[in-house]
């Protein structure tokens, strides 16, 4: 069976053939093309997980088999891959979040995922000279460092991306049955104040480094 030719859009291929070819190539250092391919894979896995949560049987079966296989092979993977061993050990030792913190984590994760997608799109458009004249680039996102555990990175993503977007959602969050009732978010009068959650927001941003990973967030 012959493979379909790669379909290109905006100078970057999004076809499965392109993703397969990028992931199949070994590289010693960081690879922008491989990072982009992995980002597409991560996006697809998030779709599968979301569909499974909505009761999709096929996606549920896929995730069950996927997780079971990789759980069984985690030891051999750790022996073969130092990066996997380092990241997995940190994730495995993490405490399970409470329902309230989990709800905040979901929203922060969604904000960061959206911002990373916007950042990647702006980076691509910036490399296409003509596009820069017709599409408004988000220079604040482009100027951000990679999201890692350094205080500078966490502060930048918190102050430039996550906290401002949460502030715009403050009214909606105050009506959220979980976040709106978090004690740490209420002032002395029992009124919801998003500013009181900033330490929790910053800590949650730091956790996202493990969820997205350096590989998925390489700058183009």
Residue 92, pLDDT score: 59
Residues 6+ apart with CB under 8 A from 43: none
Residue 164, pLDDT score: 95
Q: Is the confidence at residue 128, as pLDDT, over 70? A: no
* pLDDT mean over 49-76: 88
Most confident segment among 67-81, 188-202, 205-219: 188-202
Q: Residue 28: pLDDT band by 50, 70, 90 thresholds?
A: low
Q: Is the confidence at residue 138, as pLDDT, over 80? A: no
Q: Is the confidence at residue 175, as pLDDT, over 80? A: yes
Residue 14, pLDDT score: 53
Report the helix count and the strand count for the chain, using DSSP H and E: 12, 2
Q: Is the confidence at residue 2, as pLDDT, over 70? A: no
Nearest to 119 by CA among 94, 91, 99, 147: 147
In this prediction the pTM is 0.53
* pLDDT mean over 125-143: 66
Q: Residue 216: pLDDT band by 50, 70, 90 thresholds?
A: very low
Residue 3, pLDDT score: 45
pLDDT top residue among 207 and 127: 207
Q: Residue 96: pLDDT band by 50, 70, 90 thresholds?
A: very low
């Amino acid at each position: 069976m012959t493979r379909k030719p790669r379909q290109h859009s905006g100078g970057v291929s999004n076809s499965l053939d392109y993703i397969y070819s990028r992931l199949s190539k070994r590289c010693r250092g960081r690879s922008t093309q491989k990072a982009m391919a992995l980002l597409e894979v991560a996006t697809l896995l998030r779709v599968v997980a979301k569909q499974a949560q909505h009761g999709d049987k096929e996606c549920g079966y896929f995730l069950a088999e996927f997780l079971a296989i990789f759980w069984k092979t985690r030891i051999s993977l750790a022996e073969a891959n130092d990066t996997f061993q380092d990241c997995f050990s940190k994730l495995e030792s993490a405490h399970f979040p409470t329902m309230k913190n989990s709800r905040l984590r979901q929203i922060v994760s969604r904000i960061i995922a959206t911002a990373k997608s916007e950042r990647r799109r702006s980076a691509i458009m910036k490399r296409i000279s003509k596009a820069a004249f017709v599409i408004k680039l988000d220079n604040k996102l482009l100027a951000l460092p990679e999201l890692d555990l350094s205080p500078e990175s966490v502060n930048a993503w918190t102050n430039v991306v996550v906290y401002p977007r949460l502030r715009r959602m403050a009214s909606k969050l105050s009506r959220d049955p979980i976040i709106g009732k978090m004690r740490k978010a209420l002032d002395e009068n029992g009124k919801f104040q998003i500013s009181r959650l900033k330490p929790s927001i910053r800590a949650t941003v730091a956790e996202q480094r493990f969820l997205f990973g350096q590989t998925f967030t390489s700058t183009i």
